Amino acid sequence: MNDAVVLNYHDSLLRESDVRLLEPPAWLNDRLIGFFFDYLEHEYADRAAETSSFVTPDVAQLIKLADDDEIAFVADSLRLSTKSYVFVVVNDSESTTTATNNDGTGSHWSLLVYTRHDNAFRHYDSSPFASNASSARRTALKLTPYLFAANPRFVDVADCPKQANGYDCGVHVVSVADYLARHYFGDDRRSIGEAVDASVVVAQRRRLHDLIYGLAREQRESQAT
């Protein structure tokens, strides 16, 4: 079966099978979420490149499960000790090769964000049952020595919007990360509840679809000139 490439964007490669997951009730996989983190990193490069890091699902999974030597190499390459904001995708998978929800290795996505100005990890979990609390704390503990941060607080964000079904956790991660990037690096001063309401979450799949195909069209046009 041909699974054509739709978009090759910086470190992300998306195929038709990935983009089809934007149709509900599919779970978003690590490649779709990783693409959006790549997009945020480059979208806000002029304001956030030296102060932030967007850690994609595959790298976050390695950090959660790897030994110290491997984590040190990754942390150094990302220059985490110099970052004011670190966005990390969390999954409950125990696989060292993938965190995708679509192959049975994981069942939930959430977002962990470190903010240096108040030395805190904030965990944004759309599950009403705090499904990823253990994985998030484990990831934060692994990251802490490489942030050069002494005893950071861990906060489960109580007002994080909750999902209304069993398959939109990845969409919530994308929506919350998008809002926080605009909040930290742009001019969005709304509360998270105002900015990430049910209508935003519902529309996010279509927005991702349009973003992917819009970038692909721009690439084709650029290559044609």
Confidence of residue 96 (pLDDT cuts 50, 70, 90): low
Euclidean distance between CA atoms 196 and 172, whole angstroms = 8
Residues marked as catalytic: 108, 125, 169
CA–CA separation, 64 and 90 (whole Å) = 9
Two structure tokens written together for 202: 């519902």
Could you give the CA distance from residue 207 to residue 201 in angstroms, rounded to a whole number? 10
Domain count, the chain: 1
176 contacts: CB under 8 Å, gap ≥ 6: 111, 124, 126, 160, 161, 192, 196
Percent of the chain with pLDDT over 90: 84
Take residue 170 and report the two structure tokens written for it: 């990845």
Confidence of residue 202 (pLDDT cuts 50, 70, 90): very high
Give residue 193's pLDDT band: very low, low, confident or very high (50, 70, 90): very high
Please give the average per-residue pLDDT across 124-135, as a whole number.
Answer: 93
Give the domain extent around 26: 5-220
Whether 95 shows a pLDDT value over 90: the answer reads: no
Amino acid, single-letter form, for residue 54: F
Element (H, E) at 134: helix 133-147
* Average pLDDT for the chain: 93
Amino acid occupying residue 55: V
Give residue 131's identity as a one-letter amino acid code. S
Residue matched to tokens 């932030």: 52
Using one digit for the tens of pLDDT, what is the confidence trace for 35-54? 999 999 999 988 887 899 99
Distance CA 121, CA 92 (A): 17
Report how far residue 171's alpha carbon sits from residue 196's, in angstroms, rounded to the nearest whole number. 11
Structure tokens at 60: 């976050």
Does a structural domain hold residue 139?
yes
**Span 44-70, average pLDDT:** 90
Assess if residue 71 is contained within a domain: yes
pLDDT at 104 over 60: no
Can you give the CATH number for the domain in which 78 is found?
Answer: 3.40.395.10
pLDDT score for 131: 86
**Helix H or strand E encompassing 96:** none
**Is 98 a residue whose pLDDT tops 70?**
no
Residue 80 lies in a domain: yes
- 146 φ/ψ sector (left φ>0, alpha ψ -120 to 50, else beta): alpha
165 part of a folded domain: yes
225 part of a folded domain: no
Asked whether the beta carbons of 112 and 122 are under 8 A apart, the reply is: yes
